Amino acid sequence: GENVEQHPSTLSVQEGDSAVIKCTYSDSASNYFPWYKQELGKGPQLIIDIRSNVGEKKDQRIAVTLNKTAKHFSLHITETQPEDSAVYFCAASPQGGNQFYFGTGTSLTVIP
């Protein structure tokens, strides 16, 4: 089955700096890679996703890159703000599959 690894587990940055979270996956059949933000006591919220036919996607301060050959994808948050503080999860979904596999999460703290 698919195995998704995520690093780092915790990340602290100064407000205004950039934050990068990296994930690797094992199943070459995976073709959908979403990123979720989870605030304390709430369900995950989709913030950005990328499909395997695209190498990079950007939405304002958030961007995701995908390297299919190396089987890794990354989340980039620029100009971080305190409200970006949360736990972020990456995930991978095999082609044609309904379920997907989560990374272990990154607790991001943005220091004002």
User: Which spans of this chain sit near another protein (rule: CB under 8 A)?
Assistant: 32, 34, 36, 41-46, 49, 89, 98-100, 102-105, 107
Report the distance separating Cα 6 and Cα 89, nearest Å. Answer: 8
Q: Which is nearer to another protein, 43 or 112 (CB)?
A: 43
Q: Which is nearer to another protein, 20 or 102 (CB)?
A: 102
CB of 85 to another protein, least distance (A): 15
Rg of the Cα trace of the chain?
13
What is the nearest approach in angstroms of another protein to the Cβ of residue 104?
A: 5
Shortest separation between residue 10's beta carbon and another protein, angstroms: 10
Read off the amino acid at residue 26.
Answer: S
Nearer to another protein, 25 or 89 (CB): 89
Nearer to another protein, 52 or 107 (CB): 107
Shortest gap between Cβ of 49 and another protein (angstroms)? Answer: 6
Ranges assigned E (strand) in 1-112:
5-7, 10-14, 19-24, 30-38, 45-51, 56-59, 62-67, 72-77, 86-94, 101-102, 106-111
Q: What are phi and psi of 84, to 5 degrees?
A: -80, -10
